[in-house]
Every structure is written in structure tokens, then in C-alpha cells.
Amino acid sequence: MSSKKTISLDAMGGDNGPSVVLGGAAKALERKPDISFILYGDEAILNAELQNFPKLQKNAIVKHCDVHIDMDEKPSKALRKGRGKSGMWLAIAAVKTGEADVCVSAGNTGALMAMSRFCLRTMAGIERPAMAALWPTLKGESVVLDVGANVGADSGQLVDFALMGSAMARALYGLDSPTVGLLNIGVEEVKGLEEVREAGQMLRNSEFEGLTYHGFVEGNDLGLGTVDVVVTEGYTGNIALKTAEGTAKQIASYLRAAMSRTIFAKIGYFFAKSAFNQLREKMDPRKVNGAVFLGLNGVVIKSHGGTDAEGFAAAVEMAYDMVANGIMQKIANDLDRFDKGKFIENENTE
């Protein structure tokens, strides 16, 4: 892989299409100048939009495709319609062929996962890929997975998620042995679903050097940053993610209303403006936009469909960091070293 990172973009994806995708790419390029882009979409629209971003225009090539996947299309229909010819598919396929190092899309999540799995296939030893997101905490950030790729997971799949999440934390944060917790309804070992308890036993019995198993964590631990990696299945993870996003918007709305209610509140806001700006920065969901599809033979990043250019830039920069820090090799190495079968056998013979 060359020092310059090539990122393929599903340029027509998302609620706002090329204006946000190209605007975000341009912002990311300012901060990461060693990026080049391949833009898949309507050539006429993209070339016209590129006129607004001269630097991006010099660092991008446009590849025309007529087929676009709608945000509300069912994954099965999108796969039949777009396989081999849609911008989403071609952006993923560029990773498979090595033309691009990583793909980013703000398009239909289900379609993107279906196409990614079909095109890239899962890594050896991985039953299901997972979506991993960054979660702002009181201590900084944590990796949380799965946040929507799977409804339900057995103990072995939860262990897979733990391995992949710890590899991501090492790649992003430079940690030798990230702490990993399993999301549960209590920290006591007797609580929770059987699959979660079994996964905890497997991780507890391991002597794996790439992660430190903390034990069970609860919902409040997500914001506290109790562990570096929180593992759950996609149904619970997605509800937790959407709840957190909604809560952040609710608090921001309360603060705006409170600060404009009286003249004294407005004066107080004037003197505390710097503190409120810092709070707004910490609560800004755009800063942690982007979920990584882990467990595939290639890296795909899903941006929130409704984000703006700043949010899409964050997803592009996440893509850059994943490739620059060798996430694929870290996951492959971890899977080679962690023998799930051995720990299941040990548990059964106790």
C-alpha cells in the first residue's frame, strides 16, 4: 500500500447527496492532505459540484454510473438492482480490487451491509460482520459494537465482536490491551442472557494479550467511559445509539431555551459563552460520525445519512485512520491467536 490513501466514495448516497459528500471530502482533504478520492456517481452532477472545491478536484477522479440506491430500498432489492453497476457497489468493489484502500458511504445502511458482505465476504473465522461506532464519554471515546448489523448474537459472535472492537481501539487509540466489557442488565455474573454469560466466561478464561476483559457493564457505563470497548448485539446497540443521539439533542434544546428565557439568562450566557461552546463541541454528534463494518475482507465506513459536510468529513477521517493504522491486519492477527474452540472446550470440561 502506498503512503497516499485512496478512498472510494458512494458520492450520490445519503439524504443530501453530492453537496455534502464532496463538501465533507474537501474538508477531510484539508486536514489529511495525503488522501486521493474515487467518486462514483452521475458524472455531470459530480463534475459540476467539483467546481466548488478546486483542491478536491485535483485529488479526485470521477467514475460515472447511472444506478443509484434509494435510502428506503430493501437490501434484497438494492442488491438485485445495484450489483455490479450502482455507485454503492462499485465503491465497495474498488476496495476488493485494491483500487481503493477503503470505502465510505452515507447511503442505505441495509443495502450497504448486504453489498459489502456479498462483494467482500467475511474474514476467515468471522460468522457475522459488525458495525462499530465511536461513543463520546467523560474520559474521551469508546468503541461500541454492534450498533445495527445483527439482531441477536450467540456467545461466539460476541467474542468475535470483542476481538474486532479491541483491534479497532488499538488502531485508533494506540492501546496495547484495551479494556472490554459486555453490555448487560447488571454486573453480577448470574444476570443477563445465556449468550452474554457464556461470552463472558470465554473471555474471562482466555489469556489473550490484545485485550483486558473487564466484565459486564451497564447502560450508564457507556457515557462514563468505564471500558475502552463495549460489546453487545445490534438490536440493543442500535437502540442505545439512537437513545444517546436523541438525549444529546434534547439537552441542547433545553439549554437553548433556558439561555433565552430572561434577560439575566442572556447576560449569563454572554459571560459563560466559552464554556457553552466547549459543551456544544463535546456534544456534537458530527465529531464521531461514522460506523466501521468490521469482519469483512476490506474496510467499509457507513456515515449517517442525514449528516452535513463536517460530519461526513469525520467519517472520511475515520476511514483514513482505519487504513493508516492497519485495522485489517490487527483483526486477522487477533483471530489467529484467539482459539475460541479451546475455551469452549475448557468450559465444558470444568
If you average pLDDT over every residue of the chain, what do you get? 87
- The answer on pLDDT for 313 being more than 80 is yes
Per-residue pLDDT band for 210 (boundaries 50, 70, 90) equals: confident
Kindly state the cell numbers that stand for 124: 476467515
pLDDT at 344: 46
Closest listed residue to residue 106, CA positions, set 315, 321, 319, 318: 315
On whether the CB atoms of residues 322 and 301 are closer than 8 A, the answer is: yes
Closest listed residue to residue 304, CA positions, set 15, 7, 4: 15
Structural domains of the chain sorted by starting position, each given as residue range(s) with its CATH number in brackets: 135-285+326-350 (3.40.718.10)
pLDDT at 269: 66
- The answer on pLDDT for 350 being more than 60 is no
* pTM score, whole prediction: 0.84
Summarize pLDDT for 138-170 with one digit per residue, the tens. 888 899 998 988 888 899 999 999 999 998 898
Kindly state the cell numbers that stand for 38: 474515487
CA-CA distance, 201 to 198, in Å (whole number)?
5
pLDDT at 124: 85
Kindly state the cell numbers that stand for 281: 463541541
pLDDT at 278: 66
- The answer on pLDDT for 324 being more than 70 is yes
On whether the CB atoms of residues 135 and 141 are closer than 8 A, the answer is: yes
Q: How many C-beta atoms lie closer than 10 Å to residue 165's C-beta?
A: 28
pLDDT at 245: 76
DSSP state letter for 287:
G
Distances (CA, A) of 210 to 166, 175, 178, 226: 7, 9, 7, 18
pLDDT at 89: 95
pLDDT at 248: 76
User: What is the percent of the chain with per-residue pLDDT over 70, rounded to a whole number?
Assistant: 91
- The answer on pLDDT for 312 being more than 70 is yes
Torsional class of 209: left (φ above 0), alpha (ψ -120 to 50), beta (otherwise): alpha
What residue spans of the chain are helical by DSSP H?
18-31, 43-50, 54-58, 75-82, 87-97, 109-120, 155-173, 194-205, 219-224, 234-259, 263-271, 273-283, 309-324, 327-337, 340-348
pLDDT at 276: 61
Closest listed residue to residue 62, CA positions, set 49, 52, 71, 79: 49
- The answer on pLDDT for 347 being more than 60 is no
**Average pLDDT rounded to a whole number, residues 37-63:** 95
Per-residue pLDDT band for 1 (boundaries 50, 70, 90) equals: very low
**Average pLDDT rounded to a whole number, residues 80-107:** 94
Summarize pLDDT for 273-298 with one digit per residue, the tens. 676 666 666 666 667 788 899 999 99
Summarize pLDDT for 249-265 with one digit per residue, the tens. 787 787 778 777 788 77
